[in-house]
Amino acid sequence: MKIIGENFIGDKISAKGNSVFSTFNPKKNVSTPWQFTEATPNEIEEACFLAYQAFKIYRKTKDNERALFLREIANEIDTIKELEEVYCTESGLSKERFQTEKERTLFQLRMFADFLESRNWRNEIIDNQAPILKKTYIPLGPVAVFGASNFPLAYSTAGGDTTSALAAGCPVIVKSHPMHAATNDLVAQAILRAVKNTNMPDGVFSSLNGISHQTGQALVLHRHIKAVGFTGSVQGGRALMDLAAGREEPIPVFAEMGSVNPVVISNLSLERKALFWAKAYADSISQGGGQFCTSPGIIIAEKNKHFDNFARLLSTELNKIETACMLHPNIKKQFINKRDHIIALDSVRSLSKIKKEHDNYIQQSVVIVDGNSFLKNKALREEVFGSFCVLVECKDQYEILDIIESLEGQLTGTIIAEKEEDIQDLKEVFQYRVGRLILNGVSTGVRVCKAMHHGGPYPASSTPFFTAVGTDAIKRWIRPITYQNFY
Amino acid sequence: MKIIGENFIGDKISAKGNSVFSTFNPKKNVSTPWQFTEATPNEIEEACFLAYQAFKIYRKTKDNERALFLREIANEIDTIKELEEVYCTESGLSKERFQTEKERTLFQLRMFADFLESRNWRNEIIDNQAPILKKTYIPLGPVAVFGASNFPLAYSTAGGDTTSALAAGCPVIVKSHPMHAATNDLVAQAILRAVKNTNMPDGVFSSLNGISHQTGQALVLHRHIKAVGFTGSVQGGRALMDLAAGREEPIPVFAEMGSVNPVVISNLSLERKALFWAKAYADSISQGGGQFCTSPGIIIAEKNKHFDNFARLLSTELNKIETACMLHPNIKKQFINKRDHIIALDSVRSLSKIKKEHDNYIQQSVVIVDGNSFLKNKALREEVFGSFCVLVECKDQYEILDIIESLEGQLTGTIIAEKEEDIQDLKEVFQYRVGRLILNGVSTGVRVCKAMHHGGPYPASSTPFFTAVGTDAIKRWIRPITYQNFY
């Protein structure tokens, strides 16, 4: 299968623009051989109009027809021989990670197919008093999807947003992530083959390239786009939220913008299980180079010898782990800037000796700061995207609660405690700051299922009402309607 | 029971400001004797801080405790002897309307009480694979509620927004509607007695007065306010949406902003049942002086002798109805301006002879315009708040579909057709423009129940996902959270 490098406007390939770009191989620290042409304003207009036309047909498809379509997408992706190599080349991620992520992508497509075939997934409600009322859900219209830099498959072209939007009955226009446009190219071709194989309307899926902000902005502002899915930074997500809110017809932006995923460890857990948790957290912090939205970035505990011991163990464990290749030189640069800014603060003590970080590799590391300084410095509460963790030593439990209360919205929060400890006050405060509260575990690893909530108060998500993972993710693309007197 | 005229900051009354205002008796065309003091910035701060403190306690109350609280509010409102007189004086609405609206208000309070006591109203989902996941819902935090001018009880101080937010576990600060601040005063006192009687935390309810925009703006911008409920004009709702979207932490605004509630009547219905539908629509258009968000403002049909006949009958029926007193001189003024602007258009022909409209009274009226002119002039598609209806005569069914497609989002749409007529194409297009689609009925009359959806695509509502009426209205004030490994 060939990488085409053009925009996919429905079943048409198109490269009318003059601006081209390549992706990058972070492990070899060189550009990839593939070139992509940015979409022009006319091509964007064309894709949006085609999606608008396709919506009129696609919204009438039956649930089982869309289920078939999703399964066909999964099957087509599964046949792309070049996918592993292209994915690994563009992302610096491992073959094992590719396998996991591909399986997750196929699983999501098939899960939504099953979901569409399940009984009354729309939760239709009928009130039989006269006049009879039936409440159900209908799709919103064409959706623009912005893929994640850190999930070239599972949260990109055929990822959670696209899959749930297509399941809902909404056409999708993907803005390919400029760091993995070749992976997008292959997956987009697979989706378009599935469109043909299952007789879905032309324009139900398009993919546009763009390395500048213009392509994305034009999509969000387009009158035919009715909702936006985004996974990325707070800065990027907020920019799209502001654009969408300022439209003549404001539209929802579902932005999953990451978080620092704070962890509170109890005294007893530190005393009894310091090594166990140090190993678990070294593992979690370093997973995928820390480039997960659920990567733990803050660990809070009372200052005492047990926390000192834990800090030492954690830093030792992290030192054992090989340096990690970041997704892109820009991501490494941002990581280094933010981390080194924090390390340079007077109140911060680094627990890891940073050795030479060649090319796009970074070293996993931890620092420690006292609770009072943490409360005073906003930079310490902001996400450092990559393997880096701030340990916060507090003078007492009240300071821990103060810190939790001072946090912005988070995707996850974690409490590590022993059975006999009373965690009620902490749980009470913590739950109002997070979308998922975990007891005695790690925040990385998000199970894809009905009971999952992946989202949280702003700025973890643009809106706290919806999840980006699991079957409830479909609720972002459908809205209620009541039919009166129709039955 | 005495009208106090001050702000209610929890159980404290407070009138530190210098700006006072009175409400107005539209029937007698004079000011009422009651005076109200606008809240100062300090009083607003005080109420928000108190609500924030109250939330920490209120969010821990049990469902049946909040159910008791809601029932007690209903009981307390039911004992206010002066309510009928004050309501009718301030609104110009009839005693019958007062009764209906009061019953609806008490019904809503008791319905949410029952709902809180129903099995698993949060739709908790448990996934028993390890680690166990439980997904449930928790309240957002303090909510600011802006009451509706046209529902001094059922969509104001203790109306749908307040009731559903209190049911959810959110403290409420009501910004009293300046047209019925005395009604608010009495109802606020009733709620505050219920707070005491059921030992709810001080600050779970406050009521602030304001005739300028400042009180409302300060509330929406306050860091402790986490969501907003609003019922009113598009202009007002959009202003609050923009304010909330521009905050450092954007918050949701649930604005129900009204609509023109278009109706399409088929040829056969006009031929067979012109008088029946003319009577039904004269009734619906004139109900409450047309001051309902579901008042039908556009009736569309094919141009032919049957539509001519219907137009004549409708105008005759409307002429039989007594002139209606509007809620306030400003509302009459806006009505007259918009209506007369439309009547003055070259393409528009008035079917009603407008007689003298004394004081705050207006005459119910209809005009007729051809489909092409309707499509060209945006003013004809905008809501004229009051009894006024635009008949649109189209050259064929395609023009009818064009018009429906050209409409902005609507709360309701109605199709009048005979059984043997094929309405599939119309239904298909119409449903994507409305929150509720009605067959052979009128849009006025919104049943309060689980199957009701009262909302719609923008600008009918700020967001299409939520309803302002029925038990699902509680979903605006709660958000999902997943507990991992807690059970």
Among B293, B325, B389, B394, which one carries the catalytic annotation? B293
Q: Could you report how far apart the first and last alpha carbons of chain B are, in Å?
A: 51
* Spatial separation of the C-alpha atoms in residues B17 and A352, rounded to whole Å: 58
- Distance (Å, whole) CA A481 – CA B466: 10
- Identify the burial level of B60 via C-beta atoms within 10 angstroms of its C-beta, where 0-12 means exposed, 13-18 middle and 19 or more buried: exposed
φ/ψ (deg, to 5) at B77: -65, -35
pLDDT digits (tens, 9 = 90+) for B155-186: 999 999 999 999 999 999 999 999 999 999 99
Local structure of residue A121 (DSSP, 8 states): T
> Which residues on A lie below 8 Å from B141 (Cβ)?
432
Please report the pLDDT score of residue A387 as a whole number. 96
Distance from the B34 Cα atom to the nearest Cα atom in chain A, whole angstroms: 40
Give B483 to chain A, closest Cα distance, Å.
Answer: 5
pLDDT for the residue numbered A258: 81
DSSP, residue by residue, A246-287? HSSS---EEEE------EEE-HHHHHHHHHHHHHHHHHHHHG
- State residue B155's pLDDT score: 96
Q: How many CA atoms lie within 13 A of B73 on its CB side?
A: 32
In sign, the C-alpha dihedral spanning A347, A353, A359, A362 is: negative
pTM (2 d.p.):
0.97
Least CA distance to A405: which residue of chain B?
A: B56
Please give the Cα distance from B332 to B385 (Å, whole number): 9
pLDDT score, position B356 = 84
Report yes or no: A122 at the B interface, CB cutoff 8 Å.
no
Q: Rounded to the nearest 10 degrees, how much is the dihedral formed by the CA atoms of A51, A52, A54, A58?
A: 110
Contacts of A252 in chain B (CB under 8 A): 463, 465
Rg (chain A; Cα; Å): 23
Show the tokens assigned to A168. Answer: 């809902």
Interface pTM, i.e. ipTM? 0.97
CB A298 within 8 A of CB A260: yes
Cβ separation of A484 and B455 shorter than 8 Å? no
Q: Is the Cβ–Cβ distance between A470 and B482 less than 8 Å?
A: no
Count of CA atoms in the C-beta half-sphere (13 A) of B82? 13
Does any CB of chain A come closer than 8 Å to the CB of residue B484?
yes
B462 and A428 within 8 Å at the Cβ level: the answer is no
Domains, chain B, with CATH or none? 7-257+463-484 (3.40.605.10), 263-439 (3.40.309.10)
Inspect the interface and report whether the beta carbons of A464 and B472 lie closer than 8 Å. no
- Reply yes or no on whether A72 is catalytic: no
pLDDT at site A296: 98
Q: Is B424 on the interface with A (CB under 8 A)?
A: no
Q: What is the mean pLDDT of each run of 10 residues along chain A (487 residues)?
A: 96 97 97 97 98 98 98 98 98 97 98 97 95 98 96 97 98 97 98 98 98 96 98 96 98 95 98 98 96 97 98 96 95 96 97 90 96 96 96 98 97 98 97 98 96 97 97 98 93
Total length of chain A: 487
| % of chain B with per-residue pLDDT over 90 | 98
For chain B, which residues score pLDDT lower than 50? none
Chain A residues with beta carbon closer than 8 angstroms to that of B254: none
pLDDT tens, position by position, A340-398: 999 999 999 999 988 889 999 999 999 999 999 999 999 999 999 999 999 999 999 99
- A389 as an active site residue: the answer is no
Distances in Å between the Cα of A53 and the Cα atoms of A44, A61, A205, A452, B287 are 14, 14, 12, 34, 40
> Does the beta-carbon distance from A467 to B451 stay under 8 Å?
no
DSSP assignment of B238-262: HHHHHHHHTSSS---EEEE------
Kindly state whether B463 is in contact with chain A, defined as any CB-CB distance less than 8 angstroms. yes
SS3 state of residue B139: strand
Q: Chain A residue closest to B441 (CA)?
A: A485
Asked if A453's CB is within 8 angstroms of B482's CB, the reply is yes
B contacts of A408 (beta carbons < 8 Å): 249
Q: State whether A452 and B59 contact (CB < 8 Å).
A: no
Measured between alpha carbons, how far is B126 from B124 in angstroms, rounded to an integer?
7
Q: What is the pLDDT of residue B353?
A: 87
Q: Which of B432, B435, B485 lies nearest to residue A438, judging by beta carbons?
A: B485
Residue A142: what pLDDT? Answer: 98
B302/chain A closest Cα distance in angstroms:
23
A256, A317, A383, A393: which is the annotated catalytic residue? A256
> A122-148, pLDDT tens digit by residue?
999 999 999 999 999 999 999 999 989
Contacts of B432 in chain A (CB under 8 A): 59, 138, 141
Q: Exposed, middle or buried: residue B122 (CB in 10 Å: 0-12, 13-18, 19+)?
A: middle
Q: In chain B, what residues touch A459 (CB-CB under 8 Å)? A: 249
